[in-house]
Structure 1
Amino acid sequence: MNIKRNIIFSLESRKKNGKPIVINVPIRMRVMYAGQRIEFTTGYRIDAAKWDEAAQRAKNGCTNKLKQNASQINNDLSKYYADIQTIFKEFEIAETIPIPRQVKTAFTEKQKGKSIATLKHPFFERFDDFVKERGAKNDWTFSTYEKFASVKNHLLAFDKDIQFNDWNEFRLTDYVNYLRAEKKMRNSTIDNQLDFLRWFLRWAVERGYSENRAFDAFKPKLKTTRKKVIFLTWEELNRLRDYTPYLKARNTLSGCGMCSCSVASQV
């Protein structure tokens, strides 16, 4: 069996205020086969002026905002290309055309190679060290310790084998999707979870446990809704106004404001 496929690396097309974004643009990997199209985030960003569209690689001698050079970026892009080819060859041998989810899962598994540094600084052991150190230094309350215990549980449920080097833009995006789909979290709660994770990852970099700073550039657009404003009816306003003489004397000014808001809501 031969599964025809095409693997393309390109910059994401984004706009701000109607103008194309050309600074610090995410590099995307697109895989097309059998009428399917899969988008992968590579975890790298580069300025448009530093990207060779024809070669589908970063221009030699260039670096991105995180000081990652073209050689490092291009080597990983080539590795991703080879990994995708290997995945499809395995499916060809099995005489099976994979669904997109199978390709994504297989690709994720191939990115989990563990280095010596990973074995020396296991992610969750360092997380416990972080909680112990920060908690003692900042005199955390019991509720703060509970929050970080919850953060750890979410991370374990997401991927119990995850390590510092795994947290590229691809995996960070997966984590956001996991919190939204599996944990049913609102965007505001997801944003808080990411802040806690960033705090820990930044601490790990400062301690020399990790050199991965992909979290610095990861800023997903998480829309949050404003709290709903509830207006009182005239009956409720009158009941509040007549509640006690003390409230009358003390809240004359605020009462006028409330009435104005109520009148505006009735128009």
Structure 2
Amino acid sequence: MNIKRNCIFLLDKEKDKPDSKLRYRIKWDGNTVAFNVGYRVDNNKWVAEAQRCKPNTTHGKKKISAATINAEINRLEETINDTFFFFEQTGQIPTSSEFRDEVNKRNGKIVEKEEKTIFDYYQQFIIEQGKENSWSDNTYKRHKTTMNHLKKFAPDLTFSDLTHEGLSRLVDYFMNIEVDNETGMKNYTAKKYINLAKWFLKWASEKGYNKELAFITFKEKLKTIPAKVIFLEWNELMSVYNATFPDAPHLELAKDVFCFQCFTSLRYSDVRNLKKADIYDGYLTTTTIKTDEPLKIELNKYSKAILEKYKDIEGIYALPVPVNQRMNKYIKDICKACEINEPICRTYYKGAERIDEIHPKYELIGTHCGRKTFICNALMLGIAPNIVMKWTGHRDYKSMKPYIDIADKAKEEAMKLFNR
């Protein structure tokens, strides 16, 4: 969430006076507040374009230096930006009074009388850690969802409630909550939220806010199965690549973007962010949005052909990428048209209940499969894992192991052909 605002420093000019009070006016979403900077500024020594006092000047009867006033301007700007960031991360557009109170609190003018709740600390955790570690939007979203679950679980929750018994009750809550008109989360979803809560509790312990350390040794007894890696095998990828949709240009575009992922290993977010300036003769460069990993990826004939097809589009971006939700729908439509309908069994647990679901493969294909398709096919083509990792940005073999296992199994099946 980004709150659009207009911020400007103004001189409150008074008739026949050579200097004026300096104030900072902020407008957003129909709200307006103004803060007194605390200094008077000589009218003829103020540079409106720069929003600063002229260097090496003094101001008012007290002859305050420009450096002192400009430093306070910088500090106030930073405080205002931090306050907007706070409200943006809470997903809240503040009223004028709420914004003023938060700024005053940050300036030390309001002393908090009420003791902070565990949710206040969780919000502090989200803001501090998100800023320090450059969290993605998805990480912010996951933690906000976790915090909301904790509020529903126990509105008056405290750190001391999260003993082994309290954490077990939290797991029971996840197992019985209504999700998408069904009772109970899938086990791996519940484990995800428990681990996110543990992340917060570890931070709170290190800060000295949390004295209950049961989370360190608590193990949720939820059976899970590793997620199956869904990808297009080479013949399926070629079927999609060679398909044409002359009467459906949106499908043609989605097909090209998805195939570009399959031939470069780029995530959806990185393809969407790829600029023409990132394309060179025979390779592209990018810094991944998810991990800030700088990558150099050589182009093959397929990825080159796709870039060539869209080289004359307007704007700075290399490809006109549809929004993710539409892309995922279009990819399923494309794969269905290409008859990629092999039945795939997906198994998961809800509590102790094992559930097997059969889906035609096209239902399970989305933008997240492009990168997996690249990795699996590269390994099955015999490209060494350490080379593939240089293209994908994987830093260790642990995260590559599921793909290596798939490639090894494919090689075993291929060897059986000699036995016919």
TM tier, smaller: 0.3 to 0.5
Give TM-score scaled by structure 2 length. 0.29
- Structure possessing the higher radius of gyration over alpha carbons: 2
